[in-house]
Amino acid sequence: MKINEKIFIELYNAGKTDAELGELFGASERSIERYASKLRREGKIKYRKDLFGNGKIPSYKNGEIFEEVQQYIDSASSVIKKYNDIYKNVKFKGTWKGNKQVEDMALVWSDMHTGSINKSPITGKITYNEEIQEKELEALLRGVIRFYYLYRPSYKVETLYIFDAGDNITNDRIYEGQKSEITCNVGEQIIKTFEYQSSFIKKMLEIFPRVVFIKEYGNHGRTSPTPIAERATNNFEYLLGKLLEERFKDNKRVEIIVPENYYHVINIRGHKYLLFHGNNIRGTTLNTIENATKQIALLAGREVYDVIIIGHFHTSLKLRITPSTTLLVNGCFIHDDEYSYNKLRKFSSATQYLFNISKRSALHNLQEIYLKW
């Protein structure tokens, strides 16, 4: 892609959106974003007023955050509305024929930590940044598509459920020293994750007749440095869910579920699934995770779940916690994650779970998509 810098800066400052610039320069929105952030680093352009206020990255006092977020969602949704057509009219290229069993597929998507930089605790090498993340996103996409084609001769696959178990952004304010370990501020993290997830959903609509995206919120999305109880609707990831909802609201093949609390129960083909992030589970040994999950399942007010899905631990694990309940702990995007190593004394798994659902079974064909492929 060859972009004339002078013209780009002029159009950018005139308020052209990334999508418009992409069209003009024949480049993807993501390349435009990258190009703009390069120019920002070189001091040639500033953040634009409409999105970030007064041309500089704002620093927040806690009380101001909610207002800031509301302002942000208002301006973002007016931008989104203009460009939703490509998300509305996605052509279905899959097949839907024959007398085969109808199945759904479910992807667990969590702990992507957009904005985070990680160095291996062993070698000191960088194992996670934006470039690596984008490669992993492609691996995730290829992984789902690969299994779709593998199952297609045997099943009619109807719906792709995406269980977003949270911590897909990493934030910029939740612990001391975090600023030095991130590539961009939380506003940009939300925008980037929003683009990643919308383009993923859009691709999935080419092969799946229907996509259901269930958003839950992690501890990294909280607005304050202290891990106090905060309403789910204050979490930055709630905002992310609302943006996705806005983007796909005219697409009848997409449903975005944005719960107002930290637990969500969904019934699929007669099976019960409980989704939450998992940060309220104290302790890191198998036993404590197992016990805490049982207690949480009881607290959440239903007797029996077929599958409980969480993230947070950055290590994948499948555990039968009662004869009829399976716990799935999802992996993350960060290979050799320093947090897992130092805090949990575990090596992280850069994997995400994918499984099938049918009338008879709540979970089968469990696959771990390895993101470093």
Instruction: Using CB under 5 A, list all residues that contact Mn ion.
Output: 167, 218-219, 279, 312
* In contact, 92 and 146? CB cutoff 8 Å: no
Q: Which is nearer to Mn ion, 159 or 168 (CB)?
A: 168
* Of residues 187 and 221, the one with the C-beta less far from Mn ion: 221
Question: What single string gives the DSSP state of each residue in 159-186?
Answer: EEEEEEEE--B--SSSSTTGGGGBSS-H
For the beta carbon of residue 203, count every other beta carbon within 10 angstroms.
15
CB of 329 to Mn ion, least distance (A): 11
In terms of CB distance, is 279 or 358 closer to Mn ion? 279
At its nearest, how many Å lie between Mn ion and the CB of residue 337?
Answer: 11
The Cα–Cα gap between 357 and 186 comes to 35
* 115 vs 218, beta carbon nearer Mn ion: 218
Residue 77 exposed, middle or buried by CB count within 10 Å (0-12, 13-18, 19+)? middle
Looking at the Cβ atoms of 103 and 337, the one nearer to Mn ion is 337
Rounded (10°) angle between helices 62-82 and 236-247: 10
Smallest distance from Mn ion to CB 169, Å: 11
Nearest approach in angstroms of CB 340 to Mn ion is: 11
Residue 218: CB minimum distance to Mn ion, A? 4
182, with CB counted inside 10 A (0-12, 13-18, 19+), is buried
From residue 206, how far is each of 65, 104, 107, 152 by CA, in Å? 38, 15, 16, 14
CB of 339 to Mn ion, least distance (A): 9
> Minimum distance from CB of 110 to Mn ion (Å)?
8
Let me know if 167 is exposed, middle or buried by CB neighbors in 10 A (0-12, 13-18, 19+).
buried
Q: Give the Å distances, CA to CA, from 87 to 8, 73, 93, 197, 204.
A: 26, 19, 15, 12, 11
Output 268 or 334, the one with its CB closest to Mn ion.
334
Q: Between the CA of residue 251 and those of 6, 79, 82, 93, 99, what are the distances in Å?
A: 38, 17, 14, 16, 28
Residue 104 or 337 with smaller CB distance to Mn ion: 337
- Per the CB < 8 A criterion, the answer to whether 185 and 170 are in contact is no
Smallest distance from the beta carbon of 165 to Mn ion, in angstroms?
9
Cβ-based nearer residue to Mn ion, 174 or 321: 174
HSE-up of 326 (CA within 13 Å, CB side)?
Answer: 13
